[in-house]
Amino acid sequence: MCFKITVAILASEIKKKVNCLSERKNVVFIVVDGLADRPITSIGGLTPLEVASKPGMDKLAEIGICGILDIISPGVPPGSDVAHLSLFGYDPYAVYRGRGGLEALGAGINISSDDVAFRANFATVGEDMKVLDRRAGRSLPEGDVLAKSLNGYRSKLFPDVEVTVKHTTEHRCVVVLRGLGLSHMVSDTDPHKEGSVMQAIPLDSTPEAKKTASVVNEFTMYSYESLRRHPLNFEREKKGLRPANILLLRGAGRLPNMASLRELYGLRAACIVANALVRGVCKAAGMDVIEVKGVTGSFDTDINAMGHAALKLLDEYDLVFLHIKGTDSASHDGDLEKKIFMIEKADKLVSLLLDSVELDRTYLVLTADHTTPVLVKDHTGEPVPVAIAGPGIRSDDVKRFSERDCAKGGLGRIQARFLMPILIDYLGLSKKYGA
């Protein structure tokens, strides 16, 4: 019996190897952030997707199967972090523990499950703690040096807690509290609009939340006392620039409580993502983050560089995840023209991939992480369109990729967290439930 089992194991190993070298299937999974929208009267009651010229996306819809995804559930606007957890197959209500842990991962900080992390802004405040600019002018070449000047701070009230500060881009930072007995159930010091610096307060009655809030308030005051006296800030003021004289913290969070896609399905996944928060979700899901020159989270991102890098990655990975951010930024700015421009730019990525991949072994997946209507300038809860092309797909009658066309597609209306199991099944990596 032992012998037979060995033979069987060997056979499956050989099959795997053959699968790997020749006809192994793979997926390119593209998310265009905030792509979905609402009909807009000024453009004939159409959505930006409906008026944009996007032959690649339309072709993908035509040869593929389409549908609409509820990212969380109908009517619930998702944040980008929670949205990507869903798109990667996780139930956010079960795994999500705030934004901070994902921001830290995205910024390349290795944090443990005990640590509590925050997204932070360098900001400008007056002596009365009134916030004069939540972004200290946004452009901040001094960010790295200023962050390092605060890094390693040890709490006076709780000397077991050490603070890590890492600058990311422009005015953006990640702050990590490292120590025992901390909690992510604390409120922000960032007022989120012009106003005064807020006191962090515990959001539950645990001693952990109380301790964390105390450290946050202590560190916030320390950041002000230290930064206001920093020579680089005196230089900024001499140049007529706003001093980056405080750190405003928000989005307390810990690492999400989840297994990687490799652990769950044996999936080897890579991603090309500039946005730190989404990159954090990718890392939490166990994706390898690939740096590609020219790929930014902005309108100037190099679509060609992204596309060609993705094609190369298909040799090594089962799934390559690509993220385009500009569409969402345009929506938040209420800039319809820029949104259409970014849709047409994203379309070139889809066209490039359609022209280059072998559709008898590669699945192309296109969707959005949420609806961000240009007229609302924020996320809303409508479902998003999705299209999947590739071998063995039950293609439908949908010929255009849009919110309304995809609603008539063969996938119907499903929850976003079922998309990943569908892809896993196409890849032949799913496990039968039952006999």
Closer by beta carbon to a second copy, 306 or else 424 = 424
Pick out residues in 328-357 that bind a second copy (CB under 8 A): none
What is the closest distance, in whole angstroms, from the C-beta atom of residue 130 to a second copy in the complex? 9
Largest Cα span, the chain: 83
Size of the residue set binding a second copy (CB under 8 A): 75
Closer by beta carbon to a second copy, 144 or else 360 = 360
* Residues comprising the chain, all counted: 435
Choose, by CB under 8 A, the member of 48, 78, 143, 179 that binds a second copy.
Answer: 78
- CB distance 162 to 182 below 8 Å: no
Q: How far apart are CA 372 and CA 147, in angstroms?
A: 32
Choose, by CB under 8 A, the member of 20, 53, 74, 126 that binds a second copy.
Answer: 74
Amino acid at 364: L
Pick out residues in 191-210 that bind a second copy (CB under 8 A): 191, 193, 195-199
Q: What are the tokens at 85?
A: 């957890």
Closer by beta carbon to a second copy, 233 or else 327 = 327
Q: How far is CA 88 from CA 83, 84, 299, in A?
A: 9, 6, 25
CA 207 to centroid of chain Cα atoms: 32
Choose, by CB under 8 A, the member of 80, 168, 212, 301 that binds a second copy.
Answer: 80
Q: How far apart are CA 305 and CA 311, in angstroms?
A: 10
What is the closest distance, in whole angstroms, from the C-beta atom of residue 79 to a second copy in the complex? 3
Closer by beta carbon to a second copy, 347 or else 382 = 382
Q: Taking CB under 8 A as the rule, does residue 119 contact a second copy? A: yes
- CB distance 173 to 143 below 8 Å: yes
Closer by beta carbon to a second copy, 55 or else 391 = 391
Choose, by CB under 8 A, the member of 77, 137, 181, 286 that binds a second copy.
Answer: 77
Q: How far is CA 6 from CA 19, 66, 263, 288, in A?
A: 20, 43, 24, 33
What is the closest distance, in whole angstroms, from the C-beta atom of residue 234 to a second copy in the complex? 28
Closer by beta carbon to a second copy, 142 or else 405 = 405
51 exposed, middle or buried (CB, 10 Å; 0-12, 13-18, 19+)?
Answer: middle
Pick out residues in 246-285 that bind a second copy (CB under 8 A): 251, 277
